[in-house]
Chains A and B, each alone.
Chain A
Amino acid sequence: MKRSTILTEKNRSRWATIFAAIILLPIGISAIGLDVSRDAEMPDVFLEPVDSKWENCIRDSTEMRFRHMDVLKEIRDKVIRYGIRDEVTLAGCGDCHQNRDQFCDRCHAAASVTLDCFGCHYYPESASERTAIPGGEVKNG
């Protein structure tokens, strides 16, 4: 049997080190990158304290900030599956939170979440003129 001239007994440990480095490189890069992005790109909107005037919201205001999507889905299922319409509607949110730019779009833009609520549901217009286009995306101007 012909013996390999590249992978010899002598340089085996050197090859092992090179392979290990190649495998671990992406993990290292992402670890460093994550650390950098955490410092640099955390949107300020998530760190703002909840205004005390929203304390009388339909749920606890901190819960609303982090779980409003679940709360809305809960209410939705109650309404359309069981006909229980005793809680707020999406348009009803706009009775207090009149500025959709500030209330909805700012955080969702920071979190890269595309909302498709407003293609079908009416939300009171904000100060800036807007036109709803298919898919619920919002075009300012």
Chain B
Amino acid sequence: MDRRIFLKKSGPALAGVSGAMSLPILASCSSQDAQADSPLAGKKWGMVIDLTRCQSDCTACMDACRQENNVALHGDPRWDVHWIRRATIRPKDESSGLEEKSVLLMCNQCDNPPCAQVCPVQATYKREDGIVLIDHHRCIGCRYCMIACPYNARFFNYKDNPEWPNKEYPRRSHGVAESCHFCAHLLDKGGRPACVEACEQAGQRALIFGDMNDPESEIAQLVKEGLLKRIRADWGTEPKVYYQGL
């Protein structure tokens, strides 16, 4: 065997051996990237608000939210905090033939959240399962997130909350911003958001909640049908709250 033939044959053999030896290392790298140990990995929570089922005089979801999350209601619109609220939208002129509509508004849990981008102290962030939430220990109360949010979903605590209905969950002190987080503390324990439970108990079933990454879930199938609308969908924030009948 001359040198030329030896090199020709040993090249592929060496490549094969080194490739086989690096396989376990490569495999361990990819599993670290996916963070398989995190309980949040692979989930993407979303909500559908079915306005055709929602009753304009019902306040079940809003009341349940205040009870669960200790959301302050001072009785003055300047200081009231809302995680989920109702707004009435009217057509600009009577002749358009459009009807007046009552719409539920809440934090849209953007996939590309402007509030998290602008937060100067990283108090607002997107969790691995897509929920946007605030670390109130870090929040300095600069209100930049309130300005950045295209949905006016963030509210500021100008005052301390005098009520404390749910002692299991902390309230917010004066000087921090807050908004809906899909009841992340209940989701982590395997539950569902308080508003969704309340809506179902009230018999409306207008709020449909689920994991959009699970193709079997009701919400994934509704989104797949493509009949749902999102508010300001053209702004690139990719909200995860969808509307039916908007």
A residues adjacent to B (C-beta < 8 A): 76, 80-85, 91, 116, 119-122, 134-136
Q: A120-B136, A136-B173 are in contact. Are A81 and B127 (CB under 8 A)?
A: yes
Instruction: Specify the chain A residue showing the minimal Cβ separation from B38.
Output: A82
Q: Are B172 and A80 in contact (CB under 8 A)?
A: no
Q: Is the CB of A119 within 8 A of B189?
A: no
Q: B39, A84: Cβ atoms under 8 Å?
A: yes
Contact of B167 with A83 in the complex, beta carbons under 8 Å: no
CB pair A91–B173 under 8 Å, yes or no, is no
The interface of chain B, by Cβ under 8 A from chain A, is: 38-40, 125, 127-129, 133, 135-137, 160, 164, 167-168, 170-174, 184-185, 187-189
- Once the chains bind, are B167 and A80 in contact (CB under 8 Å)? no
Additional pairs, 15, CB under 8 Å, beyond known A82-B127, A121-B170: A80-B133, A81-B125, A81-B135, A82-B39, A82-B40, A82-B128, A83-B128, A85-B185, A91-B168, A119-B160, A120-B170, A122-B170, A134-B160, A134-B173, A135-B173
Kindly identify which residue among B39, B137, B171, B172 contacts A83, using a CB–CB cutoff of 8 Å.
B39
Do the beta carbons of B173 and A83 come within 8 Å of each other? no
Closest-CB distance, B58 to chain A (whole angstroms): 30
| From B40, B136, B170, residue with most partner A Cβ within 10 Å | B170
A-B interface pairs (CB < 8 A), number: 45
Please give, as numbers and ranges, the residues of chain B lying within 8 Å of A83 by CB-CB distance: 38-40, 127-129, 184, 187-188
Main secondary structure on A side of the interface with B: loop
In order of increasing CB-CB distance, the 8 nearest A-B pairs are A119-B173, A122-B167, A120-B170, A83-B188, A121-B170, A83-B40, A134-B160, A85-B188
Question: Is B172 in contact with A91, judged by CB distance below 8 angstroms?
Answer: no
Instruction: Specify which chain A residues have a CB less than 8 angstroms from the CB of B164 in the assembled complex.
Output: 122
| Shortest distance between the CB of A112 and any CB in chain B (Å) | 21
CA distance A61 to B133 in the complex (A): 33
Asked whether A134 lies within 8 Å of B174 as measured between CB atoms, the reply is: yes
Which residues from A are CB-within-8-Å of B170?
Answer: 120-122
* Residues of A contacting B129 in the complex (Cβ-Cβ under 8 angstroms): 83
A122 CA to B174 CA in the complex, in Å? 16
CB proximity of B41 to chain A, nearest CB, Å: 10
A121 vs B170: C-alpha distance in the bound complex, in angstroms? 5
Cα–Cα, bound, A120→B157 (Å): 12
Complex A-B: 6 CB contacts under 8 Å: A80-B133, A82-B40, A84-B39, A91-B167, A116-B173, A119-B160
